Amino acid sequence: MMNKWTVALAATGVIGFASAVLAEESHPINTLLPATTLSGYVDTSAIWNLGNGAKQANRFVNTGADRQDGFNLNVVKLQLEKALDEGTWSAGYKAELWAGPDAAGLPGSSFASNLAIKQAYVALRAPVGNGIDIKIGQFDPIIGYEVADSYANPNFSRSFGFAYEPLGHTGVLASYQFSEVFGVAAGVANTYAGAINAKVATESRKTFMSGITIKAPESLGFLAGSSLYAGVVDGGNDVVKDTINLYAGASIATPIKALSLGLAYDYVANLTANGTYANAYAVYASYQVTEKLKANLRGEYANNSGGLLYGANDEKITGLTATIDYALWANVVTRAEFRWDHIAGGSVAGPFNGQKNDLSAAVNVIYKF
């Protein structure tokens, strides 16, 4: 059974329900640790860039220039986990290993670029009130509508806001669920020197983070289960700049049972240098057409002064992504996606190999075990 904090975060988009469900569907390892489960996936794709060349906006490495116009093995994930029990003074752990080109996008790893530890932490529960859950080690970020695991997102390509967010922390994170409606999290972690998601820790600085989640109760009718989430990460990227991430997101149920909506906003101060900034707005819509067929749509707008998305100091860009997800085989995610990015303003008129528009089509196939 998922713990209350996992359910609350999944409802906001901070983690995907699919990610939580995957953990629930993991299989016991018949070793000296019978409570440990093994799970993971193999993530593959094919991408066709419809324009000239392979230049596109920076989102995540899985749609980078080296993945355009070809077939790709993105990542293989292996996960070992002993989940927390509902009893007092419960203890467990999680260890996630990524192998493949996508691993190069993760922070905090001293391994070769195609091998990285995504998460590795000790999990503890202290029987105080409803129970304080504690993670010690390397863990996923507490902000963001989308996550690093591709299948847990509504779209294959990541959002503009995803490029602004930290992808992981090494430190301590504590969470507490006051009720089914309200929960909080707070933590402290190492600060990394240089750019966002760099790999070298700076011992003289620490990163502080906190977040709150509010879930609509059953008494709100069709809005029951809708959630709001807000979080802040004060990263202090190095001695030169102090990067601060602010995030707000919502998952909204509608009177139409098959339709759900999502909202996300990212703001980052001092992203690439002191005085720089970034904004990213995203709207999500998902419609369950049939039991096996789901349609997902994402609309975006982003601007920043740091040149992170396509190399201009005054970037303005819009994006529209349409994804069709059809569950044809058991345990397999099969998606087809069309993405259109458009330069809405800035000093660079045609950054996509001389063009204002970047269009691509992708197929994503993932086997989960």
Instruction: Kindly state the DSSP code that residue 352 receives in the 8-state scheme.
Output: B
- Single out the residue of 73, 37, 76, 229 nearest to residue 146, CA to CA: 229
Contact 238, 202 (CB under 8 A): yes
In angstroms, rounded to a whole number, what is the distance separating the alpha carbons of residues 320 and 183? 33
**What's the confidence (pLDDT) of residue 349?**
74
- Give the global pTM: 0.87
Sign of CA dihedral 340, 344, 350, 355: positive
DSSP line for 187-243: EEEEEESSSTT-S-EEEEEEEEEEEEEEE--GGGGGGTT-EEEEEEEE---SSS---
- The domain limits of the chain are 4-368
The letter for the amino acid at 291 is: E
Angle formed at CA 228 by CA 226 and CA 231, multiple of 5 degrees? 155
Sign of CA dihedral 3, 20, 279, 263: negative
Beta strand 357-368 with 227-234 is unpaired
In angstroms, rounded to a whole number, what is the distance separating the alpha carbons of residues 301 and 320? 9
Under CATH, to which class is 4-368 assigned? Answer: mainly beta
CA distances from 268 to 61, 264, 277, 303 (A): 20, 13, 6, 11
Q: What stretches in the chain show pLDDT beneath 50? A: 1-9, 11-24, 239
Q: Half-sphere exposure of 143 toward its Cβ, with a 13 Å CA cutoff?
A: 29
